[in-house]
Amino acid sequence: MTADNAGFPDLGNSLNTALGVPAWTERIVAAGPYADADAVCGAVWATMHTVGEAELAEALSHHPRIGASVTGSDSRSNLSRSEQFGVHASAERALIRAGNIEYERVFGRIFLVRAAERTPAEILAELNRRLLLDDAAEHREVLHALADIGTRRLRVLLAEW
């Protein structure tokens, strides 16, 4: 990555940590250079519709279930652990776990939602709302969640530079 990207010399690695999809990362990096973090995050949102099923499955493989214990000590695991901190001690945890099982039965993948800055009750309400969606609508929701989580993580990672 060149210095043309607002002083983010490792933008590709930051994007890959935040998004978990190397091909998506490559598309965003190739569209640069970027003036600042806002421009990079804008590119994430603008390209989220390009994430195919295989890439989505790859991205979801890097996300633990909401309410599950997060293992690992890499950057991605540390971000997940901090994002889900409030869920583990909540009264809603058992309901979220049960909802996760139902979601996986209905949609065939884990439920993905930005947990950061949300209460367990808000996460549970979002899970219940999305269980009522059809496949196409839920596909759009999961891409939106992926971009939402990714841009939040990216801002944290880029702030370290």
pLDDT in tens, 128-161: 999 999 999 999 999 999 999 999 999 988 887 6
Other CB atoms within a 10 A radius of the CB of residue 95 amount to 17
Q: What is the pLDDT of residue 66?
A: 77
Fold adopted by 11-159: UraD-like (1.10.3330)
Over residues 55-68, the pLDDT tens digits come to 999 999 888 877 66
Q: Which is more confidently placed, 121 or 93?
A: 121
Buried b / exposed e over 109-148, threshold 16 CB at 10 Å, is bbbbbbbbebebeebbebbeebeeeeeeebeebbbebbbb
What's this model's pTM, rounded to 2 decimal places?
A: 0.80
The ranges assigned to domains in the chain are: 11-159
